[in-house]
Amino acid sequence: MGACAIDANEVFFDDYRVPAHCLVGEQGTGFTTILRGMNAERCLLAGEALGLGYAALAKAAAYAKDRVVFGRPIGMNQGIAHPLADAWMRLEAAQLATYHAARLYDSCLKHAAGSSNAGSSTTTTTAVTLKDVGVAANTAKYLAAEAAFAACERAVLAHGGMGYAREYDVERFLRESLIPRIAPVSREMVLNFVGEKVLGLPRSY
């Protein structure tokens, strides 16, 4: 249905020996290492979602300025303009959340590198925990995915019936915007994570 830009495949390694010096992390800590990578993935997915949303809005704004109905551009109608403006503001807010998550992720890496090197100094005054990064990355992924989907849907609607036509691209953006909402983690699991880690609610799964 989508994801035409990136192919997805499975790779299997049978009886493949990895030298000890190639081990990522420490033995027995693989899940924690994977979690760190997932936080980076959430930041990347948030960026992908934002790109889709902004691209869809650009198409919609251009169409709303050029499409003339009853003697004036449809963008003069608040029913067209307001949803697009609202979508832009949601994307801007999600972008700030994404940049914040990426900064925390980088700060956590720098702190870890600084603490592992004896005698080295680090500029990080307050240690950023893996939990801090997880909360920020999940929040960014959630907000960006929702903002992008809304922007893409409104871009399709702004085109009217032509929004369904492939030649205007917005239908493709809408299809692609579903990916950040369901992968690599669902919206519901993000809400579970924030509810448990931030609000201290009992684990529900």
Residue 6 belongs to some domain of the structure: no
Closest of 77, 79, 92, 94 to residue 43, by C-alpha: 94
Cα 13 from Cα 18, distance rounded (Å): 11
CA 38 to chain CA mean position, Å: 12
| Within-domain flag for 203 | no
For residue 116, is it within any domain?
yes
Specify if 193 maps to a domain. Answer: yes
Residue that has been written with the tokens 């915007």 in this structure: 177
* 139: in domain: yes
Residue 14 forms part of a structural domain: no
Domain count, the chain: 1
With respect to residue 7, please indicate whether it lies within any of the assigned structural domains: no
6 exposure class (CB count in 10 Å sphere: 0-12, 13-18, 19+): exposed
- Which parts of the chain sit beneath pLDDT 70? 4-6, 115-125
* Residues of the domain holding 117: 35-197
**CA–CA distance, 112 with 101 (Å, rounded to integer):** 17
H or E element in which residue 73 lies: strand 72-73
**pLDDT tens for each residue of 91-108:** 999 999 999 999 999 998
Evaluate whether residue 25 is within a structural domain.
no
- For residue 131, the domain's CATH number is 1.20.140.10
Please report the pLDDT score of residue 8 as a whole number.
77
Q: At what angle do helices 130-158 and 187-197 cross, to 10 degrees?
A: 140
* pLDDT at residue 124, rounded to an integer: 44
